[in-house]
Amino acid sequence: MKVFYTKVALNTYLDTHKKNKQIGFIPTMGALHEGHLSLLKKCNEENDISVVSIFVNPTQFDNPADLLKYPKTFQDDTKILESAQCDVLFAPDVKEIYAENITATSFDFEGLEHEMEGRFRIGHFDGVGTVVKRLFEIVAPNKAYFGEKDFQQLQIVKKMTQKQQLPLEVKGCNIHRAKNGLAMSSRNSRLTKAHLKAAPFIFKTLQKVKMKFETEAPNTIIEWVEKEFEKQSLLTLEYFTIADEKTLKNIKNKDEKTQYRAFIAVFAGEIRLIDNIQI
């Protein structure tokens, strides 16, 4: 695996090696786990050269403490990527991406940015749009892979790619879960033992929501979820919603032709966890 820290070094390498080759790209913030590796597996199957980036993007953090405490495990990440057949790791520092101007561009994602995470993490998706666009321009991949774990982010990146006519395909990948159902996340490593034990309740609840959605009204389900979390001493519900997968707008009346998804954000102590399920 080649490791590059600068755009120039990465581009010099890719320019000489990419002729007639498909480049697949996976942007990450490091602290890699099996969820990231499931994206890499798909990327390896569909491309000749897999590029993974590790960059903890300051402009997408609405909470400075969260940015400071974001897990950083670069040495381990390198080993993990090497053994998972990653071809190229791009690990720029903040200056390489932002020069002296660490600010986000403002994007219009046609309303997708105002729902769910957008309500609770002000400016988050401008930060995501800014860094993803910059990374796409640097790496110039044919395909890029994003997890459905961050479903709203996936839809927003697809929207940006389409609106700005960026020449690549954005592909969504299934959520990778621990055996107990907990969606894998870099933030899980910061959970206390007790919170780690409590957290699988999130996906268990989503599975019940999926069953209930066949027969019960959305509002009844929302009230039920809120009550279920009130009984949990270690988990605090931030939001639960059922929304149209395409527009991400809250469901009003169930419509047979629309594909819905349930979305949830929960605090386990100071760690914020998100998850979702197609219903």
* Residue numbers at the binding site for ligand AMP (CB under 6 A): 28-29, 35-36, 38-39, 146-147, 149-150, 173, 175-176, 183-186
Q: Given CA atoms 34, 39, 43, 45 in this order, what sign does their dihedral have?
A: positive
What is the nearest approach in angstroms of ligand AMP to the Cβ of residue 277?
13
Q: Is 248 exposed, middle or buried (0-12, 13-18, 19+ CB in 10 A)?
A: buried
Query: Smallest gap, in angstroms, from Cβ of residue 54 to ligand AMP?
Result: 8
Q: Give 174 or 219: the residue with its C-beta nearer to ligand AMP.
A: 174
Catalytic residue among 33, 36, 124, 176: 36
Q: How far apart are CA 120 and CA 109, in angstroms?
A: 17
Q: Determine how many CB atoms are found less than 10 A away from the CB of residue 1.
A: 15
Helix (H) or strand (E) holding 134: helix 124-139
Cβ 16 to ligand AMP shortest distance, Å:
28
Q: If phi over 0 gives left and psi between -120 and 50 gives alpha, with beta otherwise, what is residue 125?
A: alpha
- Helices marked H in 140-171 — which ranges? 151-163
36 catalytically annotated: yes
What's the min distance (Å) between Cβ of 174 and ligand AMP? 7
Shortest distance, CB of residue 184 to ligand AMP, whole angstroms? 4
| Residue pair 37/31 in contact by the 8 Å Cβ criterion | no
H or E element, residue 69: helix 64-69
**What b/e sequence results for 249-272 when a residue is b if at least 16 CB atoms lie within 10 Å of its CB, and e otherwise?**
eebeeeeeeeebbbbbbbebeebb
Residue 36 or 158 having the CB closest to ligand AMP:
36
Interhelix angle 124-139/7-17, nearest 10 degrees: 50
Q: Which is nearer to ligand AMP, 190 or 251 (by Cβ)?
A: 190
Catalytic residues, by residue number, are 36
